[in-house]
Structure 1
C-alpha cells in the first residue's frame, strides 16, 4: 500500500530505492578491509597491515592524517597519490590498489591509501644483519636501478631514495615506495619543504643539493642516492656518508671520493660553501676497493660511476643498467619505459587553492581512478560537482570511517615488519666474472 507522498511524487520513490542501493554498496565497501597490525609510523601517519576481504589478500593501508590542516601539505599528499597511480604498473614499484572513499564529500580529514603488502624493507634487513650473498646484492641493486630508470623515463624525480623506501620480500623482490617528495621534471617551482635540513635524508643527498650547484636539478640526484644505498649494502648496513651537518657531509664526501675538480668548485653558487670546500684542501679518493675489500671489482667500478661529484658526469640509471656488473641479468626487454607524465595531472597546483577546492581535487582522484561507481553520488551527468544538499549524504559508515575506528584500537600495539626468513631465495643465473 502506497502512502500519499509516494503517490504525489513517484520520482522520490526511485531516489529512495537508489539511496538504499548505494547504502548497501557503501556498507559492503566499509567491510572490505580488516585491520591486522600497525607495521610502521612516522610524520606522515601510520601504516597497517590488513586483510582485503574481497579476495583474501593481505595489503598495507597508509593513513595520512589531518591532510587538510595545511594546504601545501595537502598538495604534497595529492601529488604523492598521483605519482603512486602513474607509476603503479611496474614490477619494481609498489602498487597502489585503492584509496578509500570518504562518507562525506567535503568533511573528511584523513586519507587511506591501500598498497600491496611487502614483509620488510632494506633498512630493516640491513639493521638486522641478515646475510646477503654477492648475488643477492646484485639482484637487489638491479631491481632498484630498473625501477629508477622507469621513474626517470616518466620525467619524475623520486628525491627520497633510501633503504627504508626499498621494500623487500623473502624472494628478494624489490618494490621502490614512498613518492611523498617526488616531483615531475617539468615542474621547476621551488620546494623549500624538501631542501630544509632533514637528518633522515641528508645521508643520501647529492652534493649539488648541499652545495646549491645549480638553480635546477636533474635525475642525477636519484642516482647518487642509489650509490649511497649500494655502498650501505656493501658495508653491511654502515651508511657511507652519515653526516651530522651539511659541512660534515662535505667532509665525508671529500674523505671518500676525493676533492671535486676546480671546475666543479666554481659551479658552487654559495660563496661560503665554496670557501669551505677549498679550505678542506686537495685530497685523493680513498678507493672503494679499499673501503669494501670483499666486493667484486665491478661493483666498486659501478659505485664509482654512481658517486661522481659532477652530476653531468654521473651515470644515468640507463647507463647503470648497462654496466658490466649487471652482465647476465641485464635484459633490455625487462627494462620498460613509461609515458612522460602529463602536466595536466598537476594543473591543480597552478590554482589558488582553498581547503574546499583541494578536497574536490582529492575526490576527483579517488572517484575517477578507484571508485567510478560512486560518480553519481558526487557529480552531475555533465561532470559538475554536486553540493551536499543536492548529492547523496551517506549516513552509512564508509570504509574510511570503519578503518579509522579499527586503527585507533591498534595504534598502541605497534609492531615491526617481519624479518624472520629473509632472504631465502636462491638466486640463479650468471655469476659475476
Structure 2
C-alpha cells in the first residue's frame, strides 16, 4: 500500500466472499468492482449497508499498520465535518485489509447520468457543498489527493460527501510511465486524470523525492508532498465535469501530461477551449483559477476569491440559510422526524424563498420531501409530506412539477394507507389542473398515470374510490388537454421531420413505422405530404378515441360502485367537466348511467343526486333533447321521500329558469306540480310558487289564462291577474293540508278508498271533528295522492 509496488497481486486468488467472511460482522451482498489494487463490495451490517474496500496482502510479509493509523487519524479529524465521509472501520486480517465507509446508492459520476437530470440550481448546490467540503478539509488539515466524481457520494436529497481518502496512494507519478497511474488512480478505466500538473515528475525527481520522504522509514508520510493546491486543481476538474453534465472531462492522462509540459500560450488556448463547454459561464473565472498550472498562484487566488460567499456564483440563501438548515435535516434520526421538522417550519422557508425571489431553490426542498415520503412509516408523516409537495408545487416551475412531484404522488397511489392514497389522488388532480404550461416532453404523462387509476377501481377502500370519482372530471379535462397538445405537435411536424421520425422508428422496429407509399418521381413531394397528413389525422383520431375510452372505462366502473362513490361522480362541477369532455355524442350515455340512480329504492340520497345533476346534463343536452327527462321528472314528483321531491322541484325550477324545457313538456308536468301548492311541507309550497313565477315570464298571457289558471283555481283563495309576485301568490294559497292528516293518509294502504267512503258519508252529521277536518281537504288530498306513489 505504499509508493513502491513490490508485488501487487497475491499468488493465490480467492473469491471475494472469502475475504469478507474473515470478519463475522460483515455479510457480503454484491461486488461493486475489482481492480488489481483493491476489490470493492457492498456488505450488510447490523446498522445497515456499507461499502468495503479490500486490499489483499501479497505472499510476502506485508506491514500496513502505519497506513491504518493514518486512516484512523483522518477519521477522527473529520468526524464532525458533515461533507466528509472517511473510512469508519478498518479490519486487518491475516489475508487482507478491509476498509469500511458509508454506502450511498449514487456517486456524483452516477448521478450526472441519472434521471431526473440535475437542474442548474442543483448543480450549483453541489458545487457549493464541494467548496464547503474543501473548507472542512482545510480546517482538519487533511489533504485528499484523489478528488474525482467517483469519490463524491450523493444522497437522493442531494447532500454531498467526499470519501475514499487514500494516504496510501503516491503523491507523485512519473509522466513517462502510466502504470502507476493506472494501478492507483484509474480504477474505473475511464482514463480521465484530475491530478495536478506538479504531481507528474521525471524519474530523477521521483528518486530524489522518494529519498527525501522515505529516509530510513519503510513508509511514506501522506502529509509530505500533498498540498491544498493539488486538491484545488482536482476540484476544478470536477467542476468542469459537473457543469458539462458529465459530457466533458478536463483531462485524460496524456492531456494532463501535455498540459504540464506545454508553454503558457498553448495552456491558455487549451483552457479557453475547455471552458467554452461550460454552461454556467459565471463559473469560468473560478475554474480558470483552479486549473492554473502554478500551484502557488492557484492556491492564493482561490483563497482570495472566497467562492462560497460570491453572490455571483451562488444565491445568498445558500450561505445564509440553506446549508445550515439542510445540515440539521441530515441529523434527523428518521424520515418521519425529517418530514415533521419540514412541515412544522414550512411557513418559514416558503416565505423566505418568496421574499428572496429564489423559487428555483424549491427543488432542493422537494428532493428532501420526495425521498423521505418513500421511507416514512407513519400515516401523519406521509400526509404531511403530500401537503408539503402541494405547497411547494405552487412556487416551482412546471418542469419540476412533472419531473419530481407528479411521479412521487403517483407512486403514493399504491401506498398501504387508504387515506394516503386518497390524499395523493386529490393533490395530484389539483396540481395537474393548476399547471399553466405542460412541457412538450411530458405529453405522454397520462399513459403512465391512467393505468394506476384503473388499479384504484378495485381498491378495497371507498375513500379512495370517492377521491377518484370526485376528481374524474378534472382528469377528463386533463386528458383533453394532453390530447390537444399531442394533436398540435403532430400537426406542427413538417413532412421532412415526420419522414425522419419514421426512418428512425423503422430502424428500431420496422413494424412500428408507417408503410411508405409508392411515389412517382414528379409527384413524390406532394404525395408524401398527403400521405403523412392522412397518417397524422389517423393518429389524432386514435389518440382521441384512446382518451375517450380511458375516461369512459373509469366512469362506467365507478357508476357501478357503492352509492357514496356514485354520488360523487354526479356532483355538479364534476359532471359538468365530464359532459364537456364526452361532448354531445356521448351525453346520452351519461344519462343512461344516471338513470340507474333512480333504481335504488332504499337510499333516497342517491335518488336525490339524480335531480341535482339533471340541470347540468340538460345544459349539455340542449332544449331539443330535454324531453327525454320528462318521465324522470314525473317520477321525482311521485317519490315517497320529500327530500327527493324537493330536489325534483328544484331541478324543474332550474330547467325552467334556463329555458331548457319545451312548452309541451312543461304543460305535461304542470298538473303534477300545481297540487303541491297546499302540501304540508312548506319547502315544497315555496318552490312550487317559485316555479309559477318563472312560468309568468316564459308564457304568453293567453297560455297563462287558458292553460295555467284553470289548474290553479282550486288551490287559490282568489283569482290572480298576474303570477309574477311570489308574496302575493303565497298569501293567496288555500290553507295547506295538516301534517297529521297527511301522515294518516300516507299510512293508510287504502287511501283512495278511504277518501271515497268519507265523501259518500259527507252528509252524516255525527262525524268526529277529525273526520270533519279531513272532509275539508278531501279534494286536495285526492289530487296529491294520485301523484304520490303509495306502496
- TM-score when normalising by structure 2: 0.31
CA distance in 1, matches of 2:367, 2:150: 21
Structure 2 match to 1:122 = 108
Check conservation: 1:223, 1:317, Cα contact below 8 A. no
Structure 1 match to 2:591 = none
Check conservation: 1:203, 1:239, Cα contact below 8 A. no
Is the alpha carbon distance of 1:149 and 1:45 closer, same or farther for their aligned partners in structure 2, counting shifts above 3 Å?
same
Is the alpha carbon distance of 1:283 and 1:64 closer, same or farther for their aligned partners in structure 2, counting shifts above 3 Å?
closer
Check conservation: 1:329, 1:430, Cα contact below 8 A. no
Check conservation: 1:67, 1:74, Cα contact below 8 A. no
Deviation at 1:123, TM superposition (A): 1.9
Is the alpha carbon distance of 1:43 and 1:153 closer, same or farther for their aligned partners in structure 2, counting shifts above 3 Å?
farther
CA distance in 2, matches of 1:281, 1:136: 31
Is the alpha carbon distance of 1:242 and 1:151 closer, same or farther for their aligned partners in structure 2, counting shifts above 3 Å?
same
CA distance in 1, matches of 2:42, 2:309: 37
Is residue 2:30 matched to residue 1:37? yes
Structure 2 match to 1:206 = 196
Is the alpha carbon distance of 1:305 and 1:165 closer, same or farther for their aligned partners in structure 2, counting shifts above 3 Å?
same
Structure 1 match to 2:129 = 143
Check conservation: 1:59, 1:117, Cα contact below 8 A. yes
Structure 2 match to 1:312 = 296
What pairs up with 1:327-346 in 2 under 5 angstroms?
327-331=316-320
Structure 1 match to 2:367 = 425
What pairs up with 1:96-111 in 2 under 5 angstroms?
96-100=87-91, 102=93, 108-111=94-97
CA distance in 1, matches of 2:44, 2:126: 27
Deviation at 1:306, TM superposition (A): 2.1
CA distance in 1, matches of 2:73, 2:85: 13
Deviation at 1:134, TM superposition (A): 0.9
Is the alpha carbon distance of 1:320 and 1:311 closer, same or farther for their aligned partners in structure 2, counting shifts above 3 Å?
farther
CA distance in 2, matches of 1:278, 1:52: 53
| CA deviations over 1:29-85 (Å, ceiling 9, x no partner) | 9653332222233344223222222x4x22223322217847576644553343234
Structure 1 match to 2:39 = 46
Between Structure 1 and Structure 2, the one with more strand by share is 1
Structure 1 match to 2:162 = 176
Check conservation: 2:68, 2:90, Cα contact below 8 A. no
Deviation at 1:425, TM superposition (A): 1.9
Structure 2 match to 1:230 = 239
Is residue 2:66 matched to residue 1:80? no
Deviation at 1:210, TM superposition (A): 3.6
Structure 1 match to 2:285 = 301
Structure 2 match to 1:386 = none
Check conservation: 2:39, 2:54, Cα contact below 8 A. yes
Is the alpha carbon distance of 1:42 and 1:79 closer, same or farther for their aligned partners in structure 2, counting shifts above 3 Å?
farther
Equivalent residue of 1:88, what SS? Answer: coil
Equivalent residue of 1:118, what SS? Answer: coil
Check conservation: 1:224, 1:307, Cα contact below 8 A. yes
Is residue 2:314 matched to residue 1:321? no
CA distance in 1, matches of 2:28, 2:153: 20
CA distance in 2, matches of 1:284, 1:59: 41
Deviation at 1:288, TM superposition (A): 6.8
Deviation at 1:162, TM superposition (A): 0.8
Check conservation: 2:173, 2:201, Cα contact below 8 A. no
| CA deviations over 1:235-255 (Å, ceiling 9, x no partner) | 12134333342xx3355x4xx
Deviation at 1:226, TM superposition (A): 0.7
Between Structure 1 and Structure 2, the one with more helix by share is 2
Deviation at 1:311, TM superposition (A): 2.3
Check conservation: 1:34, 1:50, Cα contact below 8 A. yes
- Superposition RMSD in Å: 4.3
Structure 2 match to 1:242 = 251
Deviation at 1:281, TM superposition (A): 9.0
CA distance in 1, matches of 2:268, 2:289: 20
Is the alpha carbon distance of 1:62 and 1:321 closer, same or farther for their aligned partners in structure 2, counting shifts above 3 Å?
same
Deviation at 1:205, TM superposition (A): 1.7
Structure 1 match to 2:15 = none
Note the residue ranges of structure 2 that are not aligned, 5 or more in a row: 1-21, 210-224, 325-364, 370-391, 398-791
Check conservation: 2:152, 2:163, Cα contact below 8 A. yes
| CA deviations over 1:67-111 (Å, ceiling 9, x no partner) | 784757664455334323432332111154333475xxxxx2312
Is the alpha carbon distance of 1:241 and 1:282 closer, same or farther for their aligned partners in structure 2, counting shifts above 3 Å?
closer
Check conservation: 1:166, 1:176, Cα contact below 8 A. yes
- TM-score when normalising by structure 1: 0.53
Check conservation: 2:27, 2:43, Cα contact below 8 A. yes
Is the alpha carbon distance of 1:69 and 1:223 closer, same or farther for their aligned partners in structure 2, counting shifts above 3 Å?
farther
Deviation at 1:177, TM superposition (A): 0.9
| CA deviations over 1:316-339 (Å, ceiling 9, x no partner) | 46823233313321259969xxxx
CA distance in 2, matches of 1:194, 1:175: 30
From 250, 259, 272, the equivalent of 1:286 is 272
Equivalent residue of 2:319, what SS? Answer: coil
Is the alpha carbon distance of 1:328 and 1:424 closer, same or farther for their aligned partners in structure 2, counting shifts above 3 Å?
closer
Q: Which of 305-314 and 145-154 deviates more?
A: 305-314
What pairs up with 1:386-425 in 2 under 5 angstroms?
425=367
Using CA pairs under 8 Å that are at least 6 residues apart, name the structure with larger relative contact order, 1 or 2.
1
Is the alpha carbon distance of 1:62 and 1:133 closer, same or farther for their aligned partners in structure 2, counting shifts above 3 Å?
same
Note the residue ranges of structure 1 that are not aligned, 5 or more in a row: 1-28, 103-107, 184-189, 254-267, 336-422
Check conservation: 1:129, 1:236, Cα contact below 8 A. no
| CA deviations over 1:135-187 (Å, ceiling 9, x no partner) | 1111111122211211122222211111111111211111111111479xxxx
